[in-house]
């Protein structure tokens, strides 16, 4: 995403993140594509409902943070979108510390969600600390890691559809998807940076 004009991949991220945003807002409205009883249960839990209210912000604003044209031409837009993004992650993450333990998964899924929550909170702290000391390269990397975690909101729904189509129950699917929606993407990014950094250092 280093060029001025966004490529097809960016548009894909934009549209899929927007779908996650819409699904979050739709869920909060009390309507759902899933089990209405499960929707009611989640919305009756203050931590889970608050988590969703905050967590729709990162998927709404995140994709725009990767556009060099916004960063270069309208830095204030990047700053304010970044503040709203970070507010969403900090609020969504803080409430997920509680919501992780009420999710409809086996015990393992609660640990998966908790690991995701802690990574979400730690990476935003690192990303913000880096920009506060004006270290742009480090800021970009931590914020990219953080967005990969925010983007789990979209990936988890795709994985749930696939796992349930394969015949797994809701609970089994969510237990697996609570890890598969973010860990492989994060590892792929780390490997990508490992090899590209190595190549840059050689040249």
- Quick check: 13 binds ligand HEM (CB under 6 A)? no
Residue number with the smallest Cβ distance to ligand HEM: 24
Which position among 65, 100, 175, 180 is part of the footprint of ligand HEM (CB under 6 A)?
A: 100
Which position among 56, 128, 130, 177 is part of the footprint of ligand HEM (CB under 6 A)?
A: 56
Distance between CA 178 and CA 30 in Å, rounded? 23
Which position among 67, 90, 149, 177 is part of the footprint of ligand HEM (CB under 6 A)?
A: 149
30, with CB counted inside 10 A (0-12, 13-18, 19+), is exposed
- Quick check: 155 binds ligand HEM (CB under 6 A)? no
Q: Residue 36 corresponds to which tokens in the numbers above?
A: 């209405």
- Quick check: 176 binds ligand HEM (CB under 6 A)? no
* Least distance CB 111 / ligand HEM (angstroms): 11
Number of neighbours of residue 203 by Cβ within 10 angstroms? 4
Distance between CA 4 and CA 170 in Å, rounded? 42
- Quick check: 102 binds ligand HEM (CB under 6 A)? yes
* Least distance CB 139 / ligand HEM (angstroms): 19
- Quick check: 66 binds ligand HEM (CB under 6 A)? no
Q: Provide the residue count of the chain.
A: 203
- Quick check: 179 binds ligand HEM (CB under 6 A)? no
For helices 36-44 and 8-28, the axis angle rounded to 10 degrees is: 80
């Amino acid at each position: 995403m280093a060029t001025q004009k966004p490529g097809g991949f960016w548009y894909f991220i934009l549209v899929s993140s927007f779908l996650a945003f819409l699904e979050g807002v739709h869920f909060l409205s009390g309507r759902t594509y899933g089990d209405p009883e499960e929707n009611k249960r989640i919305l009756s839990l203050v931590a889970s409902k608050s988590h969703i209210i905050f967590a729709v912000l990162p998927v709404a604003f995140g994709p725009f943070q990767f556009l060099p044209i916004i960063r270069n031409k309208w830095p204030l837009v990047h700053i304010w979108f970044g503040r709203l993004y970070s507010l969403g992650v900090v609020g969504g993450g803080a409430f997920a510390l509680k919501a992780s333990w009420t999710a409809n998964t086996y015990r393992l899924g609660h640990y998966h969600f908790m690991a995701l929550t802690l990574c979400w909170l730690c990476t935003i702290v690192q990303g913000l600390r880096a920009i506060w000391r004006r270290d742009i390269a480090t800021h970009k990397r931590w914020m990219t890691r953080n967005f990969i975690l925010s983007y789990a909101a979209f990936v988890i729904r795709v994985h749930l559809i696939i796992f349930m189509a394969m015949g797994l129950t809701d609970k089994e699917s969510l237990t697996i998807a609570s890890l598969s929606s973010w860990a492989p993407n994060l590892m792929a990014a780390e490997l990508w940076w490992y090899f590209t950094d190595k190549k840059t250092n050689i040249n």
